[in-house]
Amino acid sequence: MTASIRPLVAGNWKMNGLSSDLAELKEMAAGFEDASGGAADGLICTPATLIERAVRAVDGTALAIGGEDCHANETGAHTGDVSAEMIADCGASHVIVGHSERRTDHAETDEMVAEKAKAVWRGGLVAIICIGETEAQRKANETLDVLAQQIAGSVPDSANAENSVVAYEPVWAIGTGLTPTANDVAEAHAHIRERLIERLGDNGKTVRILYGGSVKPSNADELMAVENVNGALIGGASLKAADFLGIAKTYRG
């Protein structure tokens, strides 16, 4: 862990969550501060259909609510899309942009991700900008080059610790149960930190870098202890309070 940077434990519910799941969210909210010992920030990013109800459900707790994606425009003829302003209007504080599933399923480019990050800022929210290599890229020893390219293309010049978080999610580890070694994560996060400083100057020293990719209570202690890992972006394990809080306990000390 990087002592000077307050960690963030964030969940991404993806296309999961109905009204009945708000009970699980309330359990997370009620237990987060105790689980983390007050040493970390907590966030759950829900589907757009749940954001407003989720905000009400966690009101008065240490858990914040975010969105999973947004359109780059504020308004317009974009049927089915939501803007950052709409997400902010629901009471959210963060928006995930550039997740590998969006890049793959919707052919989102680095340029599109950067425009979405700027839109998140325009809405007064914090952008969680995702980067990560595929299995083929990893096998070709292209991981560091891919990360450098995605940082250059996806992270706008005005990024800083107040408006942005970077999440490293090796695509091959998302939802597969596969996890890089602690040394692999350390190498990737050190490289990301170096590129952020190169890009953003002193601002790059304080931007939170999250690790994502099959994070669970059983491996969280090891992964969150890696230098330059400032928290986690959690997929499946964020759907259950016991798992999410189990990861948060890493920071209780």
Residue 3 counted as domain residue: no
Please write the tens of the pLDDT for every residue from 37-80: 999 999 999 999 999 999 999 999 999 999 999 999 999 999 99
Strand spans (E) along the chain: 8-12, 41-45, 63-67, 94-97, 126-131, 164-168, 208-211, 231-234
- Reply yes or no on whether 78 is catalytic: no
The residue annotated as part of the active site, out of 99, 101, 133, 189, is: 99
Residue 194 counted as domain residue: yes
What residue numbers bound the domain in which 16 lies? Answer: 8-251
User: What is the average pLDDT value for the chain, to the nearest integer?
Assistant: 96
Query: What's the total number of domains in the chain?
Result: 1
The pTM assigned to this predicted structure is: 0.97
Residue 1 counted as domain residue: no
- The CATH code of the domain that includes 77 is 3.20.20.70
Query: Quick one: CA dihedral 188, 190, 193, 194, positive or negative?
Result: negative
Residue 222 counted as domain residue: yes
- Reply yes or no on whether 94 is catalytic: no
Residue 54 counted as domain residue: yes
Please write the tens of the pLDDT for every residue from 84-135: 999 999 999 999 999 999 999 999 999 999 999 999 999 999 999 999 999 9
Please write the tens of the pLDDT for every residue from 176-223: 888 789 999 999 999 999 999 999 999 999 999 999 988 999 999 999
- The percentage of the chain sitting over the pLDDT mark of 90, rounded to a whole number, equals 93
Residue 128 counted as domain residue: yes
The residue annotated as part of the active site, out of 71, 169, 189, 191, is: 169
Confidence at residue 1, expressed as pLDDT on a 0 to 100 scale: 42
